[in-house]
Structure 1
Amino acid sequence: MIDLFVVGGGPAGLATAIHGALAGLEVVVAEPRAVPVDKACGEGLMPGAVRALDALGVAAPGRPLRGIRYLDAAGDRCAEAEFRAGPGLGVRRTLLHGALAARAAELGVTVLPRRVARVSRYATHVEADGTAARYLVAADGLHSPVRRSLGLEVRPGGRARPARYGLRRHYAVEPWSDLVEVHWSAGREAYVTPVGPREVGIAVLTSEQGPYDAQLAAFPLLLSRLGGAGRTPVRGAGPLRQEARTRVAGRVLFVGDAAGYVDALTGEGLALALASAGELVRCVREGRPEAYEGAWCRLSRSYRVLTRSLLWARNQPRLAPLIAPAAARFPGVFARAVNLLA
């Protein structure tokens, strides 16, 4: 019987498969899409994520990142924080996915080109459309069909928060910084990540409806740098906030965005996914899958607390304009927050 059946062959699913193969488990991945899969993503990896990829034997080509810079929309207020634990990495999502897929194939992981429609749970195993495995790992994304089918989604209660979305496009310009820049404007943020010698990715996070170009118009400094540069089509994702009741449901475990997601404000999604994948496999290998819930909570605590706090401030009309100026005024606090996540 298969040890791990991973539903979803994105970065979180492939990282889980690689960890499993390295631990001596038989792993099969179900992914209907051809590699590489592109999606809306900030494409900036924190130093912890870079170290996690190294431990997996995955080498993804990209641009070293020295730290993070916050700016207001006009660029008048600026705060910078360098990573103390080594560089991060700006890397195209497609290149990262391709590198993970190549490593999984090198380790003999089987990838089935199919979509899983039905999951049945039993005391001793799980079946996914007739395929039996000791454990099933749901790595099927932000709007996880497995999470939904098992009734593990948490519906928003009380006063509804404004839904947030991400939009991303690449521009053919030489990067002007080795930092991830976060530009703050009313109702939205723009993340600029250098990903190649003549390529930057710009992801806009927003709670307001509207096309990408209209959103980017709120950042005059960015527009002045882009000029008439060539650009790629826009990709989008959202609503970003997704909550799960649990990360462990018997022999079904959740990893990556399927395990629950707060927001992309702090750029920790991939780092958390890579770290969680390792903990999940460790708990399964030790025969203690239930311990993964606590491990995930510990790993994600800083991300959840800082992201929720920053998102709360972003949603306060009187506080939101003060975020970039406050980071500039208190650089030590800003640096500590950045490196806590890094």
Structure 2
Amino acid sequence: MFLYRGACRMRQWSAVNTTPLPSDCSLLVIGGGPAGSAVAASAALAGMDVTVVDMQEFPRDKTCGDGLTPRAVHALTRLWGGDPGEPSPRTGSPGILSGRPEIRGLALHGFGGSVRTPWPDHPSFPPRGSAVPRTTLDAALLDFAAACGAWVVTGWKAVDVSHVGASTAGTVDSVTFRSTERDRKETCTVRCDTLVLAEGVRSGVARLLGVRWLRGLVHGVAARSYCPTPYGDEPWIHSHLELRDAEGVAQPGYGWIFPLGPEEDGEGTRGVNLGCGALSTSRRPAKVNVKKLLGEYADLVRGEWELGEPREITSALLPMGGAVTRVSGVNWAAVGDTAALVNPLNGEGIDYALESAQDLVELLPDAAASPDGLRHIWPAHLRRQYGDAFSLARRLSTLLTMPGLLSAVGPLGMRGPLSDRMMAAATRLMGNLVTPADRDLTARVWLAAGRLSVGHDRYRHPDSRPLFGV
């Protein structure tokens, strides 16, 4: 296992993919989104023989806010090998952020107040965010993986997996794919030394390997649309924290507006990504139709933004905060959304997808030297990186699902005497801009509270071993 075979292979994909599936490869990646493409690109640059397979043809859409926080821009810069607004020095690929907006921070609204807070100064993350439609971002990242030397194949769905031994946490031998072409009933089996699951939250192969969503924990339901507006060059992400339904009841979630910059929409005007999300648990499910709520939210801000009608409305359900039972076996690992690496406070996952993908590739040599491979190394790494923060974010998000709580505490945060400081801290937390290495007051308080939250999780569930110690 973990054999690094062959040199980088330069192969471009096209909208109509004719690349055949190989019979075997050293590293097999299922899923061509940001996490899968980042794994494939990083592994190919490291000299590995890597194949990435996606069931859909690209470009393809994905329900998402399209926003990139400074943490996501940093992770993209790490992958790109330089400024992602410029051609990649590694491949010459066109800059993914070329011509895209430079987002300065968050504009938070609700409960009678509005606060604009720029991204904080941070030693690791740049003071800028951006926004790129997922149809564009994902296709560019997959094209970058191909330019790095990954073998990219689309139009095949993973339907089965063969593994050695009785335990699904053990060693994967091969994956069986079925063609998604309507008139093609073909199947193909690919043997691999290492398997990476990056297919998203509904991955069938992940379920076969024992990756189960912990439904009792907080998760999100969201809807997204695109709206024409003359204010698409607004340099702030707008978040409306007071999200009310038609009956005036505050929902446990928020609405967002991500300006898409100079990108022209179909009607020749600049547009925004407008959406909304609500938090839900099995005990307190979100009793709201998010698509209907999106329409009501659009009506609320239409005059200020001169919005056209929302279009391309889609919705999704999103497990968060590492709320899955398993993320790895001896020679397989889950990254990105498949491992529920999504912040429960804001639904952001692109930064974690890009980070976890690159971290995994860097850990493969250590895994190769261990008889247990990735089985313990990978979840231990995720716990160190995200465990404390995710545990606390899950707990706070669960509290927000309590009826009336948001209406009670919201005005204190938006109009209280410490609102500026509180919203600056909220911007940092909502932007995922706290790391285990940070030592400032906000980070120390957040991380200490996270450690207490993890301790409480272990006390309540001493016999369970999910990813982040729930």
Q: TM-score, normalised by structure 2?
A: 0.66
Deviation sequence 1:9-44 (CA, Å, 0-9, x none): 111111111111122211101112111221110111
Whether the aligned pair in 2 keeps the contact of 1:262 and 1:308 (CA below 8 Å) is no
RMSD: 2.5
Determine helix, strand or coil for the equivalent of 1:142.
Answer: coil
Whether 1:44 and 2:124 are equivalent positions in the alignment is no
The structure having more radius of gyration, on CA atoms, is 2
1:126 aligns with 2:173: yes
Deviation at 1:309, TM superposition (A): 3.8
Question: Is it true that 1:100 corresponds to 2:141 in the alignment?
Answer: yes
For 1:199, the equivalent position in structure 2 comes to 271
Structure 2 residue aligned with 1:180: 237
- Rounded Cα–Cα distance in structure 2 between residues aligned with 1:323 and 1:66: 26
The more displaced of 62-71 and 321-330 is 321-330
Q: Among residues 32, 35, 51, which one is paired with 1:9 in the alignment? A: 32
Q: Measured at CA, do residues 82 and 257 of structure 1 come closer, stay the same or move farther in structure 2, by a change above 3 Å?
A: same
- 1:66 pairs with one of 104, 109, 128: 104
Deviations 1:43-81 (A, max 9, x none): 1111111111122225323211111122117xx212332
| In 2: Cα distance, 1:107 partner to 1:14 partner | 10
Question: How many residue pairs are counted as aligned between the two chains?
Answer: 337
Aligned 8 A contact 1:70 1:324 in 2? no
Question: Is 1:150 the equivalent of 2:209?
Answer: yes
Greater relative contact order, per chain length (Cα 8 Å cut-off, separation 6+): 1
Contact 2:108/2:238 (8 A) holds in 1: yes
Q: How does 1:256-271 map to 2 (within 5 A)?
A: 256-261=336-341, 265-271=345-351
Q: What is the rounded CA distance, in whole Å, between the counterparts of 2:332 and 2:408 in structure 1?
A: 43
CA offsets per residue over residues 254-280 of structure 1, 9 Å max, x none? Answer: 001100255664243111111111111
Cα shift at 1:104: 0.9
- Structure 1 unmatched runs, 5+: none
Instruction: Indicate yes or no: 2:314 matched with 1:235.
Output: yes
1:170 is aligned to 226
3-state SS, counterpart of residue 158 of structure 2: coil
What stretches of structure 2 of length at least 5 have no aligned partner? 1-23, 85-94, 165-169, 177-188, 244-249, 263-269, 279-285, 434-470
Determine the C-alpha separation between the residues in 2 that align with 1:41 and 1:245. Answer: 24
Residue 189 of structure 1 aligns to a residue whose secondary structure is: strand
Alpha-carbon displacement from aligned partner over 1:205-253 (angstroms, at most 9, x marks no partner): 1333436244431566413234451542201111545831122122110
Cα distance in 1, alignment partners of residues 196 and 25 from structure 2: 12
What secondary structure, in the 3-state scheme, does the structure 2 residue paired with 1:116 have? strand
Contact kept in structure 2, 1:68 and 1:181, CA below 8 Å: yes
The amino acid across from 2:131 in the alignment is G
Matched, 1:138 2:194: no
**Separation of aligned partners in 2, 1:262 and 1:15:** 17
- Give how far 1:120 is off: 1.4
| Alpha carbons 1:36, 1:98 under 8 Å: kept | yes
**Cα distance between partner residues in 1 of 2:424 and 2:377:** 32
Q: Which residue of 1 aligns with 2:41?
A: 18
**Aligned counterparts of 1:317 and 1:273: Cα–Cα separation in 2:** 32
The CA deviation string for residues 124-177 of structure 1, in whole angstroms up to 9 with x for no partner, is: 6531122111110000101221221123204435xx86x641110011112373
Distance 2:388 2:302 in 1: 33
Q: Does structure 1 residue 91 correspond to structure 2 residue 91? A: no
Q: Quick check: 1:165–1:205 contact (8 Å CA) kept in 2?
A: yes
Aligned to 2:5: none
Which residue is 2:330 aligned to? 250
1:55 matched residue in structure 2: 78
Q: Report the CA distance shift for 1:251/1:326 in structure 2 as closer, same or farther (over 3 A).
A: farther
**Identical-residue share of aligned pairs (%):** 27
